Amino acid sequence: MTKRLFFVGILVSLSLMAFGKDFFVKGKVVNDKTNREIIGANIVFKQVKKPDRYIYKATTSKEGYSLVNIKMTSSKKGEPYKVKIEAEGYEDFSGSVTLIYNRKTRFFEVPTFKMNPLSKAASIEGKITSARTKKPILGVEVTVNGKTYKTDKEGAYNISVKNMYFFTPIEMNVSAIGFGFKKNEFKQSFELAPKEETKFALKVLPLDSDKVDIQFKGKVADLYGGANTEAVEISINDVVGKTGVDGSYNIKGLKIDFELEEKFTLKIKKAGYVSQDRELKVNFITGGVIPVSQVDLRHEDLESPKVTKPGKTAFSLHPTFEWNLPQKLLADIKSVKLVLSEDKKFKKSFEIVLEGALETTVFPGLAQKRLSPETKYYARVTYTLKRNQESVAGTLNFETASMQPSAPPIVSSPFTSGDSIDLNPSWAQDGKTVYFSSNLSDTSVKIFEIWSKKVNSAGKTKLTGSTFKSSDIGPSAGPGPKRVSYLSFQHGVYNIWSMPVGTNESGLPMQRTSFEDRSIRYISCDGSGQRIVYCREKKTKKGKKPKIEIWLLKTKDNSHSILGIQGTQVKISPDGSTILYVNDKQGSPDIWTVDINSGSKKQIVSNANVIDTDPSWVRDGGSIVFSTNKSGNFDLWVMNIRNGKKRPLTNSLADERYPDCNPVNNDVVYCTDETDIWKLKKLTIPEE
């Protein structure tokens, strides 16, 4: 390979030696790419005229090379020499040079020789990490000497160098920037020697995390459903937005440190709702969209009802409560709830829920126990709107006192005993036997059958069997003196059945009605055996409370006719002409009569906010016995329907219900829960 000889006009000092015209010459050999002196290069000068005689050799050091005892002439043309240079890591150099002695300067004009370094392919590896976590960073753009690379999941990048020259430093200008990180840069040089590895490593470059853009997406909903959640004001760290039609929001313009968890404050405001502040602890996630869990807006607290009664009650253990509801909300109120407890914390409490915006009730009601005498109670009243939001409670404390009878008690005696539930007594027409419904066969379940018991006997006789695991209830003596009728649930609907009693004829029950829907509720048979009066549910729209209508069944031809009256608790008079019934069309249950033939109706017992129910004819048809809760719990009263005069028959802490009067004397059998289980008792109505 032909090599170039570069003349740079460097003057080399010449020393004239002691031997004639021998000269001393110094020079340099340098790296052609860096201009640095090459140490250890072997240089040979051969005189062109006499190459075999005049050969001069030297090895370069850091001072260059030295040639001594060079034979020179004083020719102005100079002396030509051939030059050959060898050095490890460099291409061999061959060339010629003419050494001309300059008498004026007394120096030889000798060039500096430049050698081309050899090269190898090499690779340079680097790594980018987080300055905070020391973990590698993926996808960082690294620019090295103008060329861009990207890091892998290990944070590494690799640079291939096709020709890396020996003894020639290569300078790497490295800059790196990645999403979420600040830019960083540095410089680093490498130099390759012939026997060294061709893999080099850049120093690890740490990057500091930077702030990045994020946005928050979420939704606001009404806690109770149905309300409009559009245009709710949402602010996050003072960046404000509003919800859309569907309650969703998207808050932009916020930043977060790419690597750090940061706290943001979410604030929600809308008129009529409780403002909310929520702390959000957030880390950046891919995409920068931070999902926020749904926020349920809670309406501002509703005004509490003002409870005005009962306050202190000296007598009633079924007190009447009264309260005032906010007038502007009446149309939106779904229900009112009254809760009572004997302790302030309401750990053990009992409640009733009243449908609609009612503002009074008798507590606890028919299906619950009375309050205890001489006891302090704590009451809470709340109302619930149709959107299911419950109000703040209105509270009241009150005390009950001992019940003091208003008249001398009438002596009563147990008629049944034991653990069974005994209900709905009905006297036989001879006045010697009582029919009733009971779960005596199995007191662990509420499956009732019809039983009978004679007045002067302790034994009980089962008349029906629960072969279908369905209850038989509500017996009524008749039609006629030798049969008893009752309601049976054998086929999923209460229908009228009857069976013979006290005779030698077959005791198999006979089904008198066969309705497939809308159960019969109450029945009453007349003494002649010709008619049965009953109550049946009226067909109503789904979801509405069923109304009860009164019907008449003629036993002779089994024909049915509706009397056009709504009511319950029917009892036909001893002469079969008049029906007692209960109707609540005036707000609270009252007792009425209707003439079967003319249809003429008359209200005979009425007390505002009092339940008057369970009427029964006294044997002469001129008086009735009924149950009323006018004194708090249910007591039995007798009333002369001719003059309207009333007087109590019972006055106890128990409820007395469902009386039935003996058709031949003044005895009355009724139900009482004085032992917490409904049992039958008997008393005699004193003469006026």
Residues 546 and 628 grouped into a single domain: yes
Q: Is the pTM of this model over 0.75?
A: no
Q: How far, in Å, CA of 364 to CA of 645, rounded?
A: 29
| pLDDT given for residue 546 in this prediction | 80
Of 150-164, 315-329, 403-417, minimum mean pLDDT range: 403-417
Residue 166 lies in a domain: yes
Using 50, 70 and 90 to split pLDDT, how confident is the model at 590? very high
| pLDDT given for residue 411 in this prediction | 86
Percent of the chain's residues with pLDDT above 90: 55
Residue 6 lies in a domain: no
238, 269, 297 - which closes a domain? 297
Residue 323 lies in a domain: yes
Using 50, 70 and 90 to split pLDDT, how confident is the model at 311? low
Using 50, 70 and 90 to split pLDDT, how confident is the model at 654? confident
Residues 147 and 227 grouped into a single domain: no
Residues 626 and 525 grouped into a single domain: yes
Using 50, 70 and 90 to split pLDDT, how confident is the model at 520? very high
Residues 219 and 236 grouped into a single domain: yes
Residues 146 and 93 grouped into a single domain: no
Residue-number span of the structural domain to which 133 is assigned: 119-207
CB atoms < 10 A from the CB of 369, how many? Answer: 15
Both structure tokens of 276: 């909310």
pLDDT of 606 higher than 50:
yes
Average pLDDT over residues 247-266: 94
Q: With 0-12 CB in 10 A as exposed, 13-18 as middle and 19+ as buried, what is 42?
A: middle
297, 330, 349 - which closes a domain? 297
- Whose CA is closest to 135, among 189, 190, 178? 178
Of 108-117, 255-264, 482-491, minimum mean pLDDT range: 108-117
Q: Using one digit for the tens of pLDDT, what is the confidence trace for 501-510? A: 876 555 688 8
Q: What is the domain-level CATH number for residue 330?
A: 2.60.40.10
Q: Using one digit for the tens of pLDDT, what is the confidence trace for 37-64? A: 999 999 998 888 888 888 888 899 888 8
Residue 4 lies in a domain: no
pLDDT of 6 higher than 60:
no
Query: What total number of domains does the chain contain?
Result: 5
Using 50, 70 and 90 to split pLDDT, how confident is the model at 112? confident
152, 184, 207 - which closes a domain? 207
pLDDT of 462 higher than 70:
yes
Residue 5 lies in a domain: no
Residues 494 and 365 grouped into a single domain: no
Using 50, 70 and 90 to split pLDDT, how confident is the model at 69? low
| pLDDT given for residue 366 in this prediction | 46
> Between these two residues, 15 and 636, which has the higher pLDDT value?
636
| pLDDT given for residue 449 in this prediction | 93
Residues 54 and 172 grouped into a single domain: no
What DSSP letter does each residue of 590-656 carry, written as one string?
EEEEEETTT--EEEEE--TT--EEEEEE-TTSSEEEEEE-TTSS-EEEEEETTT--EEES--SSS-E
> Between these two residues, 400 and 252, which has the higher pLDDT value?
252
Both structure tokens of 487: 């309601």
Average pLDDT over residues 437-451: 91
Tell me the pLDDT of the chain averaged across its residues. 86
Residue 387 lies in a domain: yes
Q: What is the domain-level CATH number for residue 234?
A: 2.60.40.1120
Residues 197 and 219 grouped into a single domain: no
Taking a C-beta distance cutoff of 8 angstroms, is the pair 540, 531 a contact?
no
Using 50, 70 and 90 to split pLDDT, how confident is the model at 586? confident
pLDDT of 365 higher than 60:
no
Residue 135 lies in a domain: yes
What DSSP letter does each residue of 286-306 carry, written as one string?
TTSEEE-PPEEE-BPPPPPPE
Residues 316 and 270 grouped into a single domain: no
| pLDDT given for residue 72 in this prediction | 62
Residue 2 lies in a domain: no
Strongest mean pLDDT among 221-235, 458-472, 479-493:
479-493
pLDDT of 487 higher than 50:
yes
| pLDDT given for residue 68 in this prediction | 66
Residues 523 and 627 grouped into a single domain: yes
Residues 134 and 104 grouped into a single domain: no
Q: With 0-12 CB in 10 A as exposed, 13-18 as middle and 19+ as buried, what is 332?
A: middle
Residues 417 and 493 grouped into a single domain: yes
